[in-house]
Amino acid sequence: MIITELIEKKRDGGEMTAEELEFLIGGLVNKEVEDCQMSAFMMAVCCNGMTDREISDLTMTMMRSGDTVDLSDLPGVKVDKHSTGGVGDTTTLVTAPLVAACGGTVAKMSGRGLAHSGGTLDKLESVPGINVEQPLERFEQIVRETGIAVIGQSANLVPADKKMYALRDVTGTVKSIPLIASSIMSKKLAAGADAIVLDVKTGNGAFMNTLDDSRKLARQMVRIGDDLGRKTVAIITDMNRPLGMAIGNGLEMKEAIDVLQGRIPLTDPLVSVCLTLGAQMLLLSKLAETREEAEEKLRDALVSGRGFMKLKSMLKAMGGDTRYVDEPELLVRTSRIIPVYPVKSGYIGSIDAKQLGLAACLLGAGRLRKEDSVDPAVGILMNKRYGDRISENEPYAYLYVNNEDRLDEALALIEAAVSISDEAPAEMPLVYDIIE
């Protein structure tokens, strides 16, 4: 095969065979296909799309490009949960321990944050001493002992995706649904999951800004899972506002601990979405027969404190200093806490989640570039939610700050991200759809 002919075939709207995709992906990993050639191919995919069969073949080829994890020795259905990325999205740190406390087996590999979207590994690393880069043998041992482990992706897990994603990031091909779907699902499949729950975000703080695009992506990933023999469900959730009140690694870890210790009510939006995600995980794990039964089990695990103990056991097994779990205020000690006031009294009429996420990055809570360092303690703690009434002498947010070099820029983003209206805005749903 000749790589230029394959690029031209896709450029002209042709359908790739499994053998052609294997040649292309194998060549990329073995450095026989140039970065510029793969970039051209991915731009052709971005413009012309792929058939369902092509996407499944691409996913399988990417999955087989490196190591795969065999979790068959572990008990029960191995269930994973993946979010497409958002702001104030602490669901893994709440949902995974609750599911494990209900008898589930949660073996999860997570990623780091980039730009406005937070990463679970960075949140975990706000706990001093923790090591998220566990060898696979230790990963399996932790899951066997505690029912839950969340670690970083091993170096040779889906190397094709690492190369492709780096190119997509600089060639304007990030938002291609076939490329997003194959990227996510190849990693989930390689990590050994039997069942996968996908949290597909939609709105101004998500990578898929419209509900229509989010549904397309969700359906495509569920179809891939079905084609490749994995039970898969996608839940489309709102990201037109931060899900939780905390934006920043230590702040989000503290919020997750507060949820699991019962300090945040069950009616809170973050808790509500966690219960919805967790219920689907229990259903796929065959640990509940109905959504109502699943949510009742999760609430019991939360109220009893069993979910909190699962989180604490996992963090301890990964080397974390559990003193910071028992005293989560230690996670968010900063040199200054700065209140942010509205320009007038009224209602929180809109919140641009993406801009708040970027503001938190400017404070040091995230990365605008992959090489940026992260300060685990800093970030933004919202004091009001979308639709809440507020007076002009009442802060709607607090900034946790250590380095003030870009504080003015962060403040400008925050002030532009939150609008105050004279009338209460229309309610927005937290969950738009569940796709099976």
Is 254 assigned a catalytic role? no
Phi, psi of 49 (to 5 degrees): 75, -175
Burial class (CB in 10 A: 0-12, 13-18, 19+), 13: exposed
Q: Are 351 and 408 in contact, with CB atoms under 8 Å apart? A: no
Instruction: Given the residues 126, 183, 214, 285, select the one marked as catalytic.
Output: 183
Could you tell me which of 71, 230, 64, 67 has the C-alpha nearest to residue 139?
A: 71
Query: With left for phi above 0 and alpha for psi between -120 and 50, is residue 286 left, alpha or beta?
Result: left
From the list 112, 116, 123, 187, the catalytic residue is 187
Of 10, 78, 81, 82, the active-site residue reads: 82
Is 398 in contact with 383 (CB distance < 8 Å)? yes
Helical segments of 35-135, H only:
35-48, 52-63, 91-101, 120-124
Under a CB-based contact definition with an 8 Å cutoff, are residues 173 and 43 in contact?
Answer: yes
* Among 168, 188, 201, 223, the one annotated catalytic: 168
What gap in Å lies between CA 409 and CA 340, rounded to an integer?
Answer: 14
Which position among 161, 194, 199, 258 bears the catalytic label? 161
Q: Which amino acid is at 175?
A: K
Q: How far apart are the first and last CA of the chain?
A: 38
Three-class SS of residue 421? strand
Helix (H, G, I), strand (E, B) or coil at 169: helix
Q: Quick one: DSSP state of residue 81?
A: E
161 is catalytic: yes
How is residue 379 annotated by DSSP? E
If we measure between CA atoms, which residue out of 26, 18, 25 comes closest to residue 42? 25
Residue 116 annotated as catalytic: no
Q: Is 82 a catalytic residue?
A: yes
- Residue 355: exposed, middle, or buried by beta-carbon count in 10 A (0-12, 13-18, 19+)? buried
Asked if 184 and 84 touch (Cβ cutoff 8 Å), the reply is yes
Asked whether the beta carbons of 187 and 198 are under 8 A apart, the reply is no
Active-site positions read 82, 161, 168, 183, 187
